[in-house]
Structure 1
């Protein structure tokens, strides 16, 4: 079937999606087309009599050509149908037919062999989003009483379902507006499915190594040898067309010849042979591919084409892909002992999960962890990240009882919105430490699928803080933090005790604490160089017992009397006896690291982390303290301002884009209408060109008034006044207009408006921008020099909670101006927060609003006044996290 045949006029490409099903496999969702007639016939012919009766209320063993033609020809607006496919075969159909302007009847038909995998739930989820965007508010359905599975699909989706039994049929109806409950159900299902899909990567019962060779210098040989050496508990198969056996295993010519199922196929063949291997794995029913082969998108345009075909073939067959160009995967769980990687030996088992994208960095990360004595639960390298990413592994780690903390080395980020919400959920129970150098395209390695971004780097930092992620600058810092959060309790506050035996070292540690925002509440205590072991123990006990202390920092140089090991033992014993975290620095001391760990009950090892320098320890403690504060705080509830008419706003945007397909700046009247749909009142202003027009406008608006220049130049010249305020008479208007014209006309900035005088307050800027990578980004700042000169701008990524909104307003350094700075009256904080919340919802709802700037926003004691606004709308690409389950 050609692309033209498959996509009729009006075909909505943006509705296509790959989704992970309940069993971890992948299905493709797409709109139905007239070319699906034969596929629908085949689908129906494969259904049981019971399923046919449940769907059509009649024993229609064969559908007529007329019926199937009607089913497959839809207008994608009032009549919509989606199909779920695997390997091109239809496994499920969902459809709705509009019966009134705001309601539609919905129906589903799921393949008997795929029932129980959540296909009906996925189709309902996608249809509901499509229908809601088209103005449908309610779904209705007629279901036979014995069709409990379909009834449960509606009931379990998070909607309030009304039921009525009449004439032997159950009539159901429910509003499809997204709710907090329906969103929670969607995200929970996505989490479970994607977590399950990682099970075949991390806990395979059988592995096939394709490209296993007897040549000891080959990648396939190394991986097969590493799998065997680690003591993998499942079945291992070698695939090699030319050998009879490899490393003592009989060799198979292809995966499809291996008896029994293969969960994980490790592909280590030249790039030009990979597609043939993938097709064979699809025939064999392999669940997951680990592609270590290189030569894909990182190698140039031909490799990019090869990589796209690899992904399409794998997903079309329902398989997940880790790689290509992957370093491999390691799982230290005793039930599997998996080392399907290029690492020559398993790292020591432990409680830290690690994810890195490139192979080179994978080697560096594992080597650094080994040097620190940090045990690993799971390690994975995504390579070019064509499919499986850090998001998938975070979904797994949310429920993994063997992982206490997660470290991610990210060279690029393909879906920041999804990363943010998954990381936020993970961080509520486990520390998430991220190494990410930046967000510009310069930092994206060849082969990584990532859109460019226009946002400032501060927006990326804000996203991580919003999600509770600990961001560090390099691998060294990541393991500094990991040593602490894996082995020690989290700090309950920022108060620190410092105990050591060097005045200089104690002072250095204290200075570092102050610079990182930690309060030195005890010490620095400096023991004499000839202190005994008992004195060390006593000083440490006093520090831990101090009620005003949340964490203890110890820093020692070699003592004169006491053995180095005795000091380390005193530190360890004091730390283990307390529920407060302890960090140690030993300069020039020997034999101390072995004394800092102790085997406790339940087989767990408690370790006091040791650092090369006090500054390293303090930086790690500060990061853990900030994370603990975030985790302990109330994260709020999603904002949901009342009085929003999303349909009116969408209609306005659609109308503008119909007139100007490339997009344009909205007129003042259009901006007023758009903002009003979200409960935001834009103050009127009257453009004036002459002094007489200014006087007439002032009388029409009502005194007092202001005259201001709206020339773009004036926004970037803080020292050049373009406004005259509190004008109360015709004479004052004339004088002000003349003075402004005389000053600004030489600069071509004499473009004026007259506006009603607002109550004096603090001038703010609220804006949103639609970014290709991040989606909507909402920003807040105090107008004038803080914005224009100092870049004092806060950013957050919607959807926002009420706490996010409050944090955004408080995040700018100039925020004290809002709270009564130097005797001024404090602004109405709640009204300002409501305005920011409304802008965030507008930005989240309408990706076509590429830029929205409210400037100035006059925040004053009784509320906020939006005195100026500019909006640009433009066609937009599909967001990376579109509000319905999708692998992107």
Structure 2
């Protein structure tokens, strides 16, 4: 799989002269291939010459011919030096390498991708993939990362020359989602395509990401051969806990090992003989017969790196590290953790942990218990993810008390590698899982989380509990970027993704047991079947608070109701056509249970598919008493709750999720006239001219801000800054009367209520009086160095003033906000947030979310305003912010929305170099 770049045995292309860029460490990435294995990508270095020559010599004659259009047994020294010496700007090369860093064996190159600039914004590309690694999607991954690097350097188009028989390479270009044009000339296929992301190319990359990460997780969760590594019979003072952990893991694997369903090896675990309880014991890792799919390691941190290197030789695909001593112990531990991940990925392994509780999974009747659990949970159809080991203990205990079954449990510990995103990719295609629950102590990549969770939520419910409402909590050991985002940003990320957010473990399992055992609600209309009028009233109140609508269908059953009356009441409830969901509450004052009511409710709920929750006597969780088969023979259980409030809250969450899933999520917004290329060139030029390298934001002047907005198709109304009344009069005559005059003092510039803004100024006399009043009001306030104290602007049509903002956050990326202007919004926080990329549905919801939004839709008889124009503006800001991370902040204030159009009267922008967390790298190094 290869094509030629002029210069590989041919004259080098003309490159734009300039100094070499520093080594771009930000381009380093760990990626997952289509077989679920991992490899590392990085820029090529001069010391790669020997590895590149070895890679070339190992290639087949056909691969060499397809790459160079000629047979070359060895690369000439001159060409070899040129190939490994690049400037990371006009000549760029990425290599895929395998092999563990820190070992005596050198890294092996298994793939190369490069580009050479041949014209402004155009580069010629070439790829060469190891024969042994073809068919694993490596060329597609390299193309994706090379295109991302090229866009950073201002390249917008790739061209290539490919031999017609090189069908694989042509397919890589076409399947990447770009609009590829090709023609054949002199027996060579000339290929060209723009590399700016498109909806299709982004969808292709997301689909490839989904498939590869799902496959890597499947390899872990369906492993049928396991090696457990402990510190040995004499663990020393630092190995006592690790020894007990290793012994517990082996104990959990024994039942399946005895049955012959899982092959289990133990190294350094106890002092058992060579074969005990179905477990093969070994003195050294090298004595274990490979291949082995999964390794569970419990060792003092100082010993883990060497063991990880040796496990790679066994063909291990996943390493579960239950012991700690890494990032939580400080900078040295964090460095050790990063090296561990590098070693694992170089050997093709994924890492779960450190400080993991392990993993549990049931598949095809076999339970893989590679965990510290005293006993595995009963099998079920719920996928459960958490991070810290202590929390896994709490979750498993709560799951057992409720009788809830699990399909999988994965504890990621400090999630040095495997995270909730990876598991969601797996659950998206796992037929054994119906409901997903995540307890997240931190979110390392919220943008990717939102993308993956939205895809999963479209067909499976995702219930999320976070350690803190803001997402600003960073537990020890979690390597998370800082954030400046508003505390409600995480809430918006979860809402956009369709996830069901809950407040605590109790609520999480309340919702999960409902979604796992009942059909989704078809609506919010609620019937109540209660044992007393007082109980029915409490249920109605709780249901209304949960967002449900209680209909007139309220059936009361006294404690002494006979079987016939019970059956009749249940029948009336479940045959009412105006009922979507049912809440059943029986709290007898004298104790005792009603078996007829239990069985009748269970059968009616299963027969009709009508979503039902119950609060009955002493039942709790998933019980046999409330279980019955549906029409297809599948067991359905009405979940039982401790109180009506819990039942109604869970039902409300389910109803909102069902409505979200049934509603269209829209299409990505692409307003006409948005030129992100022009905006990117402007920002890059401004940053280059300023020499900004320390990350300090550069504030744009009004002309620069207007130019940036114009690239997004946003018109900023012109204004003139003046010093005195004479200049103000000349400006007004130039702009045409009537005008607005306002102070540039930040504290007063938008405060018409305080006199800082005067509107509808119709003539010179009025203007001079207003200028005098504003200058007196501003008093000793300083508008800023070199900023005139006044601004004159043509009057816009009357309407409602709004504020639209975007800001680039190190953790969340771009965050968009919208609020109506004024103290009420600012002081009371009446602001809506969105995290791009947004769809047209997201934009519409964003505009309608603020409590003051009714003012835009004809409030109290006033004319309705041009909401479509406001939505278009929000969409443009969203696209600009999503495409340009270097736009640190943008504020449009005020935006006056009138019945016919809107006017952007003020804008303020700053730019600074940014490094977005999810930039094109699919599995970034920690």
TM range (shorter): over 0.9
Q: Does residue 745 of structure 2 align to residue 711 of structure 1?
A: yes
Q: Distance in 2 between matches of 1:20 and 1:514?
A: 47
Q: Does residue 916 of structure 2 align to residue 879 of structure 1?
A: yes
CA apart distance, 1:64: 0.3
CA apart distance, 1:719: 5.1
Task: State the match for 1:828 in structure 2.
Answer: 866
Match of 2:146 among 127, 134, 147: 127
Deviation by residue 1:675-703 (Cα, 9 ceiling, x = unmatched):
11111111111112211121111111111
CA apart distance, 1:335: 4.6
Q: How does 1:222-371 map to 2 (within 5 A)?
A: 222-230=248-256, 233-240=261-268, 243=271, 245=274, 247-248=276-277, 249-371=279-401
Q: Distance in 1 between matches of 2:606 and 2:75?
A: 73
Q: Decide whether aligned partners of structure 1 residues 322 and 171 sit closer, same or farther in structure 2, where only a CA change above 3 A counts.
A: same
CA apart distance, 1:832: 0.8
Q: Decide whether aligned partners of structure 1 residues 451 and 592 sit closer, same or farther in structure 2, where only a CA change above 3 A counts.
A: closer
Q: How large is the RMSD of aligned CA atoms in angstroms?
A: 2.2
Indicate conservation of the 8 Å contact 1:564/1:591, yes or no. Answer: no
Match of 2:761 among 727, 731, 737: 727
Task: State the match for 1:418 in structure 2.
Answer: 448
CA apart distance, 1:518: 1.2
Indicate conservation of the 8 Å contact 1:531/1:559, yes or no. Answer: no
Q: Distance in 1 between matches of 2:326 and 2:289?
A: 31
Q: How does 1:61-80 map to 2 (within 5 A)?
A: 61-80=73-92
Q: Distance in 1 between matches of 2:619 and 2:450?
A: 42
Q: How does 1:391-790 map to 2 (within 5 A)?
A: 391-438=421-468, 443-558=473-588, 564-587=594-617, 593-599=623-629, 604-658=634-688, 659-661=690-692, 662-714=696-748, 720-745=754-779, 751-790=789-828
Q: Does residue 59 of structure 2 align to residue 47 of structure 1?
A: yes
Q: Distance in 1 between matches of 2:619 and 2:94?
A: 68
Q: Distance in 2 between matches of 1:522 and 1:298?
A: 57
Q: Distance in 2 between matches of 1:607 and 1:775?
A: 42
Task: State the match for 2:5 in structure 1.
Answer: none
Q: Decide whether aligned partners of structure 1 residues 776 and 563 sit closer, same or farther in structure 2, where only a CA change above 3 A counts.
A: closer
Indicate conservation of the 8 Å contact 1:238/1:251, yes or no. Answer: yes
Q: Decide whether aligned partners of structure 1 residues 480 and 715 sit closer, same or farther in structure 2, where only a CA change above 3 A counts.
A: farther
Deviation by residue 1:436-464 (Cα, 9 ceiling, x = unmatched):
13265863210011112111221111110
Indicate conservation of the 8 Å contact 1:212/1:238, yes or no. Answer: no
Indicate conservation of the 8 Å contact 1:106/1:139, yes or no. Answer: yes
Indicate conservation of the 8 Å contact 1:212/1:224, yes or no. Answer: no
Indicate conservation of the 8 Å contact 1:238/1:246, yes or no. Answer: no
Task: State the match for 1:4 in structure 2.
Answer: none
Task: State the match for 1:91 in structure 2.
Answer: 110
3-state SS of 2:759 partner: strand
Q: Distance in 2 between matches of 1:807 and 1:242?
A: 60
Q: Distance in 2 between matches of 1:382 and 1:8?
A: 41
CA apart distance, 1:318: 2.3
Q: Distance in 2 between matches of 1:677 and 1:849?
A: 13
Deviation by residue 1:601-629 (Cα, 9 ceiling, x = unmatched):
77742100111100001110111111011
Q: Distance in 2 between matches of 1:68 and 1:880?
A: 34
CA apart distance, 1:786: 3.1
Q: Decide whether aligned partners of structure 1 residues 450 and 494 sit closer, same or farther in structure 2, where only a CA change above 3 A counts.
A: same
Mean alpha-carbon deviation: is it higher for 221-230 or for 374-383? 221-230
Deviation by residue 1:527-570 (Cα, 9 ceiling, x = unmatched):
23332222222222212222211101111123889951111112
3-state SS of 1:256 partner: helix
Match of 1:161 among 157, 165, 180: 180
Q: Decide whether aligned partners of structure 1 residues 530 and 328 sit closer, same or farther in structure 2, where only a CA change above 3 A counts.
A: same
CA apart distance, 1:128: 2.0
Q: Distance in 2 between matches of 1:529 and 1:333?
A: 45
Mean alpha-carbon deviation: is it higher for 216-225 or for 843-852? 216-225
Task: State the match for 2:127 in structure 1.
Answer: 108
Q: Distance in 1 between matches of 2:798 and 2:437?
A: 49
Q: Distance in 2 between matches of 1:204 and 1:375?
A: 20
Q: Does residue 30 of structure 2 align to residue 11 of structure 1?
A: no
Q: Distance in 2 between matches of 1:315 and 1:779?
A: 39
Q: Decide whether aligned partners of structure 1 residues 718 and 582 sit closer, same or farther in structure 2, where only a CA change above 3 A counts.
A: farther
Q: Decide whether aligned partners of structure 1 residues 743 and 680 sit closer, same or farther in structure 2, where only a CA change above 3 A counts.
A: same
Q: How many residues align?
A: 881
Q: Distance in 2 between matches of 1:594 and 1:57?
A: 71
Q: Distance in 1 between matches of 2:618 and 2:96?
A: 65
Q: Decide whether aligned partners of structure 1 residues 320 and 8 sit closer, same or farther in structure 2, where only a CA change above 3 A counts.
A: farther
Task: State the match for 2:246 in structure 1.
Answer: 220
Indicate conservation of the 8 Å contact 1:374/1:483, yes or no. Answer: yes
Match of 2:222 among 186, 203, 209: 203
Indicate conservation of the 8 Å contact 2:233/2:268, yes or no. Answer: no
Task: State the match for 2:842 in structure 1.
Answer: 804
Q: Decide whether aligned partners of structure 1 residues 656 and 561 sit closer, same or farther in structure 2, where only a CA change above 3 A counts.
A: closer
User: Unaligned 5+ residue runs, structure 1?
Assistant: 1-6
User: Unaligned 5+ residue runs, structure 2?
Assistant: 1-18, 100-106, 235-239
CA apart distance, 1:12: 1.7
3-state SS of 1:284 partner: coil
Deviation by residue 1:564-609 (Cα, 9 ceiling, x = unmatched):
1111112111111112100101145799943101255777421001
Q: Decide whether aligned partners of structure 1 residues 84 and 420 sit closer, same or farther in structure 2, where only a CA change above 3 A counts.
A: same
3-state SS of 1:165 partner: strand
CA apart distance, 1:154: 1.3
Deviation by residue 1:323-351 (Cα, 9 ceiling, x = unmatched):
01000000022353100001121101111
Q: Distance in 2 between matches of 1:722 and 1:442?
A: 37
Q: TM-score, normalised by structure 1?
A: 0.96
Indicate conservation of the 8 Å contact 1:487/1:607, yes or no. Answer: yes
Q: Distance in 1 between matches of 2:629 and 2:398?
A: 23
CA apart distance, 1:71: 1.5
Indicate conservation of the 8 Å contact 1:362/1:381, yes or no. Answer: yes
3-state SS of 1:539 partner: helix
Q: Does residue 818 of structure 2 align to residue 792 of structure 1?
A: no
CA apart distance, 1:748: 5.5
Q: Distance in 2 between matches of 1:582 and 1:284?
A: 51
3-state SS of 1:843 partner: helix
Q: Decide whether aligned partners of structure 1 residues 115 and 61 sit closer, same or farther in structure 2, where only a CA change above 3 A counts.
A: same
3-state SS of 1:712 partner: coil
Q: Distance in 1 between matches of 2:81 and 2:339?
A: 31
